[in-house]
Amino acid sequence: MKDQKQLIQDLEKLREKAPLVHNITNYVVMNSTANALISIGASPVMAHATEEMEEMASLASALVINIGTLSEKWVEAMHLAGKTAKKKGIPVVLDPVGAGATTFRTNTTKDIIQEVRPQVIRGNGSEVLAIAQAGFTTKGVDSTASAEKALEAAKELAKNANAVVSISGKTDYITKGEDTRAITNGHPLMGKVTGTGCTATALTAAFAGINSDPFTAATEAMVVMGIAGEMAAEESDAPGTFYAKFLDALYKIDGEQIQNRWKNE
């Protein structure tokens, strides 16, 4: 299939080029995100000091803005990096962690969407609903609204924000408004490890650093995530060892795995 070939080619390119992904991300997942990016073949850098934002963002092939443990100073850095990225044509992926849970998060998300205009917004159903509707209360950073319920809101958001919206869930949906892809790969244990969503965001940025079409990049990242989750679940039945096997799977995933496992709905 055309999509499979494209992904296999992009993955090869990713491993060859090792795109530098600049992450302004939350404390909880910095280590696991960095490891996931290295495992798939990218080069991570985590940096948030306002003093170095323009310089660091300029070096990168893609930028991740993840608001998981935000504070005032970091929001400033997010805007600085985001604006630099836009100026230089570097793709930006936003993860609105916990949007809807607090006003600070919802407002920060809105501001970044308006000011930075990210190419991809990647979150769970609750977060996407919260952004689209404003005023929806999520239960912390977990997904309480199913991806399906959030899909209509996501299409609306994609049009209004002129962005690809990528929702993770039992089925992942990637939409740019009129066009939507559904990915049914994955495994329930992925929800039992912290930061799986943040990893999906980081991989989306890694692929956006390789394939200039954000819709394709977002799809490819979710397929790789889902397949790696399935590979890991074949070797582990609980979260601790599953996480290690998941990183192993990102490192090992190849054309054969992609051809055999990618399930389109």
Return the residue of 7, 11, 14, 32 that touches a second copy, per CB under 8 A: 32
Question: Taking CB under 8 A as the criterion, which residues in 233-252 touch a second copy?
Answer: 236-241, 243-249, 251-252
Binding pattern for the stretch 111-140 against a second copy, x by CB under 8 A and - elsewhere = --------------------------x-xx
Q: Is 119 left (phi over 0), alpha (psi -120 to 50) or beta?
A: alpha
Query: Which region among 47-55, 79-87, 154-162, 166-174 touches a second copy (by CB under 8 A)?
Result: 47-55
Q: Which is nearer to a second copy, 56 or 150 (CB)?
A: 56
Minimum distance, C-beta of residue 209 to a second copy, in the bound complex (Å): 12
# of chain residues touching a second copy (CB under 8 A):
63
- Other CB atoms within a 10 A radius of the CB of residue 191 amount to 18
Query: Which region among 30-38, 87-95, 161-169, 174-182 touches a second copy (by CB under 8 A)?
Result: 30-38
Q: Is 201 a binder of a second copy (CB under 8 A)?
A: no
Question: Taking CB under 8 A as the criterion, which residues in 74-103 touch a second copy?
Answer: 98, 101-103
Q: Which residues contact 42 (CB under 8 A, 6 or more apart)?
A: 14, 18, 19, 20, 21, 206, 209
**CB of 253 within 8 A of CB of 224?**
yes
Q: Which is nearer to a second copy, 147 or 163 (CB)?
A: 147
SS3 content of the chain, % helix, strand, coil (to 5): 55, 15, 30
Q: Which is nearer to a second copy, 117 or 251 (CB)?
A: 251
Between CA 10 and CA 209 the distance in angstroms is 10
Query: Beta strands of the chain (E only): which ranges?
Result: 20-24, 43-46, 62-66, 92-95, 120-124, 164-168, 172-175, 180-183
Q: Which of 98, 95, 147, 143 is nearest to 119 (CA)?
A: 95
The contact set with a second copy (CB under 8 A) reads 18, 20, 22, 26-32, 34-35, 38-39, 43-49, 51-52, 55-56, 59-60, 68-73, 98, 101-105, 137, 139-142, 192-195, 236-241, 243-249, 251-252
